[in-house]
Structures are given as C-alpha cells and as structure tokens.
Amino acid sequence: MTLQVLWFALWGVLWAVYFMLDGFDFGAGMLRNFLAEGESDRGLALAAIGPVWNGNEVWLITAGGATFAAFPLVYASMFSFLYLPMLLILFSLIVRGVSIEFRNKSEGAKWRSWWDWALAISSLTAPLVLGLGFGNIFEGLPIATDGYRGGFWMLFNGYGLLTAILFIALFLQHGALWLEYRTSGSLAVRSRALASFLWYVVLGIAALFLVATAFATRIYDNYLSRPALFLVPLLAVAFLVAVKPLHARSRVLGAFSASCAAIVLVLATAFIGLFPDLIPSSIDPAASLTAFNSSSGQYTLRLMAIVAAIFVPIVIVYQFLAYRFFRAKLAKGTGGEDY
C-alpha cells in the first residue's frame, strides 16, 4: 500500500467521521425551533448538542488539514474552483457557533429568538452547501488542462441538489434520534415521532440517490471491476434499514448507532467509487486531480502519517471521554436546559 493510498483512505475516513458526528448537530439545530415547545424545551435541545458540537467540528479541521498536508493541489483547487461555496460553509459554521454561545447572554425574547433562527438557518445552510459541493465532486467538475470552466450556479444541477437533499434528510433523522436519546419529556416524544417519519423519507431519497449515481457519475466503475466492494453500499443500506426496527423496539441508542454507521458507509461508498480521483473532471479525465498527481512528496506523507498516528487517537480518546461525561439524559428542572 503506497502512502498516497493510505492518505486517500485517511482523507475519506476523516470526512466520513465529521459528517457522522456533526450531522446530528446540524439536524438538531434545524429541528430545534420546530420540535421545542417553550423556552425550557429550546434550552434542552441546545444542551443536547452544547457540550459536544465544537469537539465534533475538530474533525472538519482535521479533514481540511489532512487535505492541505497530503494533497495540497486539491486543497488549493477546492478554494479556487469552489471559493464561494467554501466561504458560505465557513460563514454558516461561524454563525452556528456564535448563535450557540451568544443566545443565553441576554434574557430578552427578541435576542434569543434572533439567535434561535440564526442557528436553524446556519444548520441548514452548511449541509446544503456541503451536499452541493460533494455532489458535484462525485459527478465531476468541469476541469480542463487550462483550468476550471465552471461557476457557482452550475453547482445547482440535478445530481448536486439530490446529494444536498440526501445530506439534509440524513442529518435531520440523525438529529431527531439524538434529541430523542439525550432528552426526556415531550421533546423526546416529538423527536421520536419525527424520527420515525423521517426514516421513510431518508430511505426513499437514498434509493433515488443510488440509482441517480449510476447515471450521473462514474462511481460504480470501481465496484463493477471489483464486485466484492459492493459489500460497502450493501452494508450502508442494511444499517439504514436497521434504524427502523431498532427504533420501533425503543432501542434508541442502537437506532442512532445504526444511523451513524449508515452515514459513514454512504460516504465510504462514494469515496471508494472515486478512487483514485479526489476531484474528477467531467470533461477531460486527464485533468482529474488524483491521489497520485496531487499529493505531497513521500517525506511529507511519511511525516504526516506519524503525526496522524499520534494525534488522531488522542482526539478519539478526548471525544470518547466527552460523550461519556455528558451521557446522562437531560430533563427539565435539572439544570440541563441551562447550557
């Protein structure tokens, strides 16, 4: 296994773990204003993500850092070709963080309402733009040997929009399951009902996405050449389907864990299909940016592999401890809503 292949795999894992973890933050942020009844419920929903959202975002920084260190040409191209979408994602994440931290700085109803809606809108905007971006990467960007020939509005094509809708639907279900698991009372009941409904929506969109992928992308080429790889998308479907029976039996943590696995495996399906491309060209395959023509030198890849081997486990241990420490179910009147 070459270092380029190793770093391609790590790049994919970092992005997949980021979407798995920050996905329920986005989902809870989008749903909070609609599921919460009263200030106490809104406080509970915020407390469900409050202690962990910034730790989850570390994986985005790590994924971005890995792209910069291992595939600098890809990093530079993403910020060149997709500058406006990247800027929108950055602004959305900033507004989300500020809304969580600033909301309780004042008791005023208008102040809190403003930040509540800022959280909801930013939590929707980030996965929308991320979905558009990754959908277009899966499909291929119009890259020629003389440069990029696309524009911002070209991202709003059928497959890009379908990928964005899939991301949003997955995160909404993920967030509803998280709120049901972490909260109690009427908020948990409403979250449960919505999660049950959203399963049908997610399953339908996911089926449409898998079919559209066969026509809009070259992702299945790797699978057709190595049929054993079909185990990955089959597992993704299996975990997505498993959410329903687990949820019906009130095994909420099991349903949430199945949702985590489904998100990771959906991303893994796409990344395996992309290999060795990181940014494929839709008009000239020779202009595609791959793990081999856009990577750093062997010394850099080897050094970064050592750094990753040291610090990624530290991040994992930190997050495990954070989730373990904040594992107690939140309830009204216990102070849990006062995040």
Query: Is pLDDT larger for residue 325 or for residue 256?
Result: 256
Taking 80 as the threshold, does the pLDDT of residue 339 lie above it? no
Q: What is the pTM of this model?
A: 0.93
Taking 60 as the threshold, does the pLDDT of residue 131 lie above it? yes
- The predicted pLDDT at position 335 comes to 47
Give CA separation, 282 vs 54, 85, 121, in Å: 36, 19, 32
- Residue 34: name the closest of 167, 170, 165, 187 by CA: 187
Taking 50 as the threshold, does the pLDDT of residue 166 lie above it? yes
Contacts of 68 (CB under 8 A, 6+ apart): 75
pLDDT tens digits for range 78-118: 888 889 999 999 999 999 999 998 888 888 889 999 999 99
CA 44 – CA 58 distance, rounded (Å): 23
% pLDDT > 90, the chain: 73
- The predicted pLDDT at position 3 comes to 92
CA 195 – CA 306 distance, rounded (Å): 41
pLDDT tens digits for range 212-235: 999 999 999 999 999 999 999 999
Taking 80 as the threshold, does the pLDDT of residue 77 lie above it? yes
Domains of the chain: 3-325 (1.20.1630.10)
- Other CB atoms within 10 A of residue 316 CB: 11
- The predicted pLDDT at position 336 comes to 46
DSSP for 92-105 reads HHHHHHHHHHHGGG
Model confidence at 318, pLDDT cuts 50, 70, 90, reads confident
Residue 186 near residue 41, CB atoms below 8 Å:
yes
- The predicted pLDDT at position 17 comes to 95
Summary mean pLDDT of the chain: 92
Residue 11 near residue 137, CB atoms below 8 Å:
no
